Amino acid sequence: MLDKIRKMLGVKDLPDEVTPLYRGARNEREALVLLKEARRRDESRRRRAMADLEELDRAEEELLEEGKGDITEARKLMLARRIKEIRWKMQELNNRIENIYNKRLKVLNEHVASLETILELTSEALPDKKTMEDMAIKAKQLLEDLEKTKELAEGIALAPETTQPDDEEKEILREMERPAPEVEPVREKAVEKKEEVRPVKEKERKTEAPTREKEPPEIMFEE
Amino acid sequence: MGTTRTRKAPPAEVDRKAARVAEENYFERLTANMNLTAGLFDPLTNRTYDSSPRNRVTKAVDDRSSEVKSLIKRFAERDLMRAYEEMPKNETVLYEIVHKELLGRPSVRVVVAGAAFSPVEDLVRSGASRTRIPASELIRVKDQIVRSDHVFYYVNAFATTSWEEDARRVLVGNNYVISLSDVFQGAWRTYYAPDPRWRAAARIFDLSSEEEKVEAVRRWVTRHTFELLMDELTEDTVFDALGYAIPIIREAFEQIAAEDRYVRFDTTARPYRLTRVYG
């Protein structure tokens, strides 16, 4: 049983707190019952210990209050001894809660949760062969349907791209391609724009040249 | 090693009605016990006398109820009659055991007396009290009961609150022994003056049944978790608190340990005790 639990939980070693419980169980379900029972017992012990701690705490407080009052030194010493005893007891109880109950409860909680999960998973029975075949066929059909749907969806997406323009549309397209009459200035502007990237001096020189040619000569020869 | 136990339970507060009810209960129980008594030992003559009803004279001494009346007149402001009805009366009942020799007149040989005590003044003034009854009050009443040197007196004094420590020092005389009773946390308890003359007469003043005692011990243990945690819940502690016989206390301890998985009856050393275990 221990090996089985180890494999199921995927652990190398089991803690000492749960080993005897697993050893005493005949199957996982019984182990879970034992774990839960152990957890319930420990929770009850822990509650009892906590209640006892409160009782001791109350007693300590009472004695401390009494010690603050106007009493003899001998009485004070007696109270101090009593308080010391109470604190020892409280320390003992605290250690018990921390080192035994809390620790054990943590381990038990973990194992209960793990076993519950495992049992839940394994509790679902596998379907018979026929059902599995039917399901496989259905799955295949669904896959095929999915494939078809995918193709159809792709087809719908491609259709507008392949559609040929009709005559009217062709005419419009041709119109679009025909050069506009105001193409020239557009070109000049384009050239100018290209030239803007050149050095400024060169640009100035080049722009000056045509203006000189267009200007009338300074000496006019009369005929 | 000396103990560091420091706490002593404070006396419970008793109001008029509770005191009155306790007093009535006391006399009922005393009468019941008296009716069960067949004979009484007289330490003065070393003889046991028949105490059946035909040899018994019952007297209710009402002297102290007049004290209650006068206190009510003095301190109560209104509803005097109602206050009187509510109040305990501090009654005394005497059972005189009469014996007649072959020749001569019948004479009283033994007297069994029961007297109730309440802090009347407190009850009249404030309606409730925690005041313990002191030895002086007990002596005063004892003197009213013990009148003849030739008669032996078994006296039980019942306090509706409780007794001062000094009361335990005045319980024995040449021709009398006194026991002190009270009700502590619902348990009837009786303290007997240590004296060999008690013999079977002590049973008359044992005011609760065995079942009641076991139940009282169980209740006491439930209320004393601290002592349990400190490993101080011994049969002696319970004996000091309730005055019950050790076998009864052990019986109760056994029952508690059987029912409570966190309590163990430790009989490995004397005195036997209950201890806390966590399993």
Is the domain of B159 the same as that of B144? yes
3-state secondary structure of B182: strand
Domain boundary among the residues B165, B185, B207 is at: B207
Give the integer Cα–Cα distance in Å for B276 and B279: 9
Is the domain of B69 the same as that of B142? yes
User: Model ipTM?
Assistant: 0.73
Structural domain count of chain B:
2
Structural domain contains residue B203: yes
Chain A residues inside the 8 Å CB shell of B4: 78, 81-82, 85
pLDDT value of residue B7: 52
Chain B residues inside the 8 Å CB shell of A62: 7
3-state secondary structure of B39: strand
pLDDT tens digits for chain B (279 residues)? 455 555 556 678 999 999 999 999 999 999 999 999 999 999 999 999 999 999 999 999 878 888 888 888 888 777 788 888 889 999 999 999 999 888 888 999 999 999 999 999 999 888 899 999 999 999 999 999 999 999 999 999 999 999 999 999 999 999 999 999 999 888 899 999 899 999 989 999 999 999 999 999 999 999 999 999 999 999 999 998 898 999 999 999 999 999 999 999 999 999 999 999 997
pLDDT value of residue B14: 93
Tell me how close the Cα of A56 comes to any Cα of chain B, in angstroms.
Answer: 7
Domain boundary among the residues B171, B190, B207 is at: B207
Structural domain contains residue B165: yes
Give the integer Cα–Cα distance in Å for B229 and B132: 30
Is the domain of B190 the same as that of B256? no
Structural domain contains residue B8: no
pLDDT value of residue A203: 46
Contact B186, B216 (CB under 8 A): yes
Domain containing residue B79: 14-207
Structural domain contains residue B1: no
Tell me how close the Cα of A81 comes to any Cα of chain B, in angstroms.
Answer: 7
Domain boundary among the residues B160, B180, B207 is at: B207
Angle (CA) B230-B236-B238 rounded to 5° is 75
* Amino acid letter, residue B153: Y
Contact B146, B175 (CB under 8 A): yes
Residue A89, chain B, CB below 8 Å: the answer is yes
3-state secondary structure of B62: coil
Chain B residues inside the 8 Å CB shell of A49: 278
For chain A, the helix, strand and coil percentages under 3-state DSSP, each to the nearest 5: 80, 0, 20
Chain A residues inside the 8 Å CB shell of B262: 45, 48
Closest residue to A89, CB basis, from B4, B229, B262: B229
Is the domain of B135 the same as that of B20? yes
Is the domain of B117 the same as that of B81? yes
Structural domain contains residue B193: yes
Chain B residues inside the 8 Å CB shell of A102: none
Give the integer Cα–Cα distance in Å for B221 and B215: 10
Structural domain contains residue B7: no
Is the domain of B95 the same as that of B194? yes
Structural domain contains residue B125: yes
Residue A190 tokens read as 């384009």
Is the domain of B249 the same as that of B176? no
Is the domain of B46 the same as that of B148? yes
Window A:20-59, CB contacts with B under 8 Å: 41, 45, 48-49, 52, 55-56, 59
Is the domain of B145 the same as that of B190? yes
Distances (CA, A) of A188 to A184, A201, A219: 6, 20, 32
Q: How far is CA B20 from the centre of its chain?
A: 15
Question: Which residues does chain A have with pLDDT short of 70?
Answer: 157-163, 179-223
Is the domain of B198 the same as that of B235? no
pLDDT value of residue A191: 47
Structural domain contains residue B4: no
- Locus of tokens 């392949």: A162
Give the integer Cα–Cα distance in Å for B176 and B187: 26
Which residue of chain B comes nearest to A82, CA vs CA?
B4
Is the domain of B192 the same as that of B158? yes
Is the domain of B57 the same as that of B145? yes
Residue B185 tokens read as 């946390």
pLDDT value of residue B167: 94
Contact B176, B155 (CB under 8 A): yes
